[in-house]
Structure 1
Amino acid sequence: MNYLIVKLADYVKRNLGYYLILSFILVAGVIAGSVSAKLLSDPQRQDLLNYIELFFSNVQNIDINSSSVFYISVLNNLKTALVICLAGLLVISFPIILIVIFFRGYILGFTVGFLVVEYGIKGSVFALLSILPQNIIIIPAIISLGVTGIHFAVTVIKNRRRMYYDGYFSMLLSYTLSCLFFCFFLIIAGLIEGYISPLFIKLITPYI
């Protein structure tokens, strides 16, 4: 376990610049999403409120299928991971990674921003208990996948003239294993979203 932590810390240190860039892009997405939540037209705002109120009023009577939530969560997160990994693998399409990270931040910012704007402290508590737990793992994993993809693409571009088959294959294998490693955390996040977050949701909704 200590070995794994040391390796992860070393990986982050060696790619700190990429981590800072992608973190900045994520934060920019969160800010843009939260601002968008405040700029909704009255009809759009009311439609969202009606949907949320309907969910809140029925959540206690709904038998949440945790395995289905887990499956959907993992599927959606792995789709995002696949886009990032392929964008890095195809090299010239690695800017797509920046777009995916920004969009992920935008969704998070919009969701949390809308809840906070409309429900105040109660919305903040709901977001904290229902959205934050899985995203504590999802966000670092997605950013790490993005860093891995950009690092791979940039390395290939820099060494394209002296890249030999064996060297490329070794780097490709390392890239694939790194992607699979970070995808493992997305599965853990899916477990949290499927089996833990619903408990928090049912716990807090009666007070909203």
Structure 2
Amino acid sequence: MNYLIIKLADYMKRNLGYYFILSFILVAGVIAGSVSVKLLSDPQKQELLNYIELFFTNVQNVNIDSSTVFYASVLNNLKTALVICLAGLLVISFPVILIVIFFRGYILGFTVGFLVVEFGIKGSIFALLSILPQNIIIIPAIISIGVTGMYFAVTVIKNRRRMHQDGYFSMLLSYMLSNLFFCFFLILAGLIEGYISPLFIKLITSYI
């Protein structure tokens, strides 16, 4: 266990620059998402409000299928991971990684921003307990997969003339294993979203 922690810490230290870049892109997406809430037209805002209020009204009477939520969460996050992984693998398309990270930040910023703006403290508490728990794991995992993709693509570009076939396949194997490792955390986040967050949602909505 200590060996794994040391290797992970070393990995993050070596790729600190990439982590900074992708974290900055994510934060930019969150800010853009939260700002775009104020740009909604009144009909758009009212439509969203009606949808959320309908959800709050009915959630207490609906039996949430935790396994369905779990599978949907895992599938959605693994799709994102696959897009990032392929973008890094194809090398020239690695800028797609930046777009995906920005978009994830935008969605998060918009969702939380809308809840906070329209529902105040209650919306903040709802976002804190229903959205934050799984994203504490999802966001670092997605960023780490993005970092792995950027590192792989940049390394291949820098060494394309002197990299031997054996060296490439060794790096490719390391790339795939690293991504599988971070995907494990996406599955863990799916368990939280499927089996823990719904409990918080039902608890909170009774007070909203």
Same fold (TM over 0.5): yes
Structure 2 counterpart of 1:135, one-letter code: N
Query: 1:44 matched to which residue of 2?
Result: 44
Query: 1:56 matched to which residue of 2?
Result: 56
Distance 2:169 2:40 in 1: 49
Query: 2:159 matched to which residue of 1?
Result: 159
Uncovered stretches (5+) of structure 2, i.e. residues with no partner? none
Distance 2:115 2:56 in 1: 12
Distance 2:113 2:57 in 1: 21
Distance 2:138 2:186 in 1: 6
Query: 2:199 matched to which residue of 1?
Result: 199
Q: Which residues in structure 2 correspond to 1:141-180 (within 5 Å)?
A: 141-180=141-180
1:207 is paired with a residue whose SS is coil
Query: 2:6 matched to which residue of 1?
Result: 6
Detail structure 1 runs of 4+ shifted over 2 Å in the superposition.
none
Aligned-pair CA distance for 1:67: 0.2
Distance 1:55 1:88 in 2: 38
Aligned-pair CA distance for 1:6: 1.4
1:8 is paired with a residue whose SS is helix
Distance 1:7 1:38 in 2: 44
Query: 2:84 matched to which residue of 1?
Result: 84
TM-score by length of 1: 0.99
Q: Which residues in structure 2 correspond to 1:67-78 (within 5 Å)?
A: 67-78=67-78
Q: Which residues in structure 2 correspond to 1:61-140 (within 5 Å)?
A: 61-140=61-140
Query: 1:33 matched to which residue of 2?
Result: 33
Distance 1:61 1:92 in 2: 50
2:206 is paired with a residue whose SS is helix
2:93 is paired with a residue whose SS is coil
Aligned-pair CA distance for 1:4: 1.5
TM-score by length of 2: 0.99
Structure 2 counterpart of 1:104, one-letter code: R
- Deviation by residue 1:69-88 (Cα, 9 ceiling, x = unmatched): 00000000000000000000
Distance 1:203 1:195 in 2: 13
Aligned-pair CA distance for 1:38: 1.6
Question: Please, what is the CA RMSD of the aligned residues?
Answer: 0.5
Aligned-pair CA distance for 1:110: 0.1
- Deviation by residue 1:84-128 (Cα, 9 ceiling, x = unmatched): 000000000000000000000000000000000000010000000
Aligned-pair CA distance for 1:61: 0.4
Distance 1:30 1:86 in 2: 24
Aligned-pair CA distance for 1:8: 1.0
Uncovered stretches (5+) of structure 1, i.e. residues with no partner? none
Distance 1:7 1:37 in 2: 41
Aligned-pair CA distance for 1:16: 0.2
Query: 1:181 matched to which residue of 2?
Result: 181
